[in-house]
Amino acid sequence: MAISLPPALVLEKNKLHWSDPLLDLVYIDVSDAVKLRYAINPEPINFDGDTYIPKNITVGTRTEQSSGGFGKFSIQVENVDRFVQALLEINDIRGRECRILQVHGALLGDPTAKIEESFEILSAQSTTEYIEFDLGKGSLKAARFGRRAQRDQCTFIFAGAECAYAESGPMSGWVLPDCSKHMEGNNGCRKHGDQEVIDLKPREHPKRFGGFPGIPAGRVRLS
């Protein structure tokens, strides 16, 4: 499947690592008058003239079919305040649109710097904890941009929270103060794991590698 990324995101993708996060946004078209915009983030996100408010949302795994489309999947939206549930009780949401967007934290002022997927809402069910929306018949406007589609290069910040490599150790000190961001090589992720063993620490690398070396070259896996 061909991938077309906005130019601003291409520039970010080609950097060694990203200092700003990728942010997930969800748009739910409840009715002609009611549009819900949520950010899977602790703080509100302003993007393309709209404010996406914080909300606990779980996005299910999307699998690509041989036809190029997506199979049915679901998202779960927090229902503690019953606000969304109240809207669904007076609006038939079936057949309406749900969009899942991914934007870059450093490019929120550029409305073209987004990756967007659009899905049809097939049904919705509520529990005391969440509303589950069943989505299907998706149209891929662009593949999700992020570390899920990175094959050979780690996108984590070296020694950051996701990488979690501690540069100093009881045996070696600061022997490996940086990383090549690749799996193999003299300064790769696996080598850092070897150093952890020398430092008498639990081996965390390369299992924390922020790429997907198992993805065949020339293909993209969406998850």
CATH, residue 143: 2.30.110
The stretch 135-143 carries a mean pLDDT of 60
Give the residue from 148, 175, 205 where a domain finishes.
Answer: 148
Q: Is the pLDDT of residue 21 over 80?
A: no
Among 32-41, 106-115, 136-145, the range of highest mean pLDDT: 32-41
Do 123 and 163 sit in the same domain of this protein?
no
Do 91 and 162 sit in the same domain of this protein?
no
Q: What is the pTM of this model?
A: 0.56
Q: Has residue 223 been placed in a domain?
A: no
Q: What long-range pairs does 67-70 form, CB within 8 A, spacing at least 24?
A: 68/1, 68/140, 69/137, 69/138, 69/140, 70/119, 70/136, 70/138, 70/140, 70/222
Considering its fold, how many domains does the chain have in total?
Answer: 2
The stretch 133-143 carries a mean pLDDT of 65
The pLDDT > 70 percentage for the chain reads 68
Give the residue from 148, 182, 206 where a domain finishes.
Answer: 148
Among 28-42, 134-148, 192-206, the range of highest mean pLDDT: 28-42
Q: CA 28, CA 23: separation in Å to the nearest integer?
A: 17
Do 106 and 167 sit in the same domain of this protein?
no
Confidence of residue 73 (pLDDT cuts 50, 70, 90): confident
Q: What long-range pairs does 215-223 form, CB within 8 A, spacing at least 24?
A: 215/149, 215/151, 217/151, 219/1, 220/1, 220/3, 220/143, 220/149, 221/64, 221/148, 221/149, 222/62, 222/63, 222/64, 222/70, 222/143, 222/144, 222/148, 222/149, 223/61, 223/62, 223/148
Average pLDDT, the chain: 75
Domain that holds residue 173: 152-215
Q: Has residue 12 been placed in a domain?
A: yes
Give the residue from 108, 128, 148 where a domain finishes.
Answer: 148
> 150-162 pLDDT, tens per residue?
446 676 777 777 7
Q: Which of 94-108, 179-193, 206-220 has the lowest mean pLDDT?
A: 206-220
Q: Has residue 70 been placed in a domain?
A: yes
- pLDDT given at position 173: 53
Do 138 and 161 sit in the same domain of this protein?
no
- pLDDT given at position 69: 54
The stretch 38-57 carries a mean pLDDT of 94
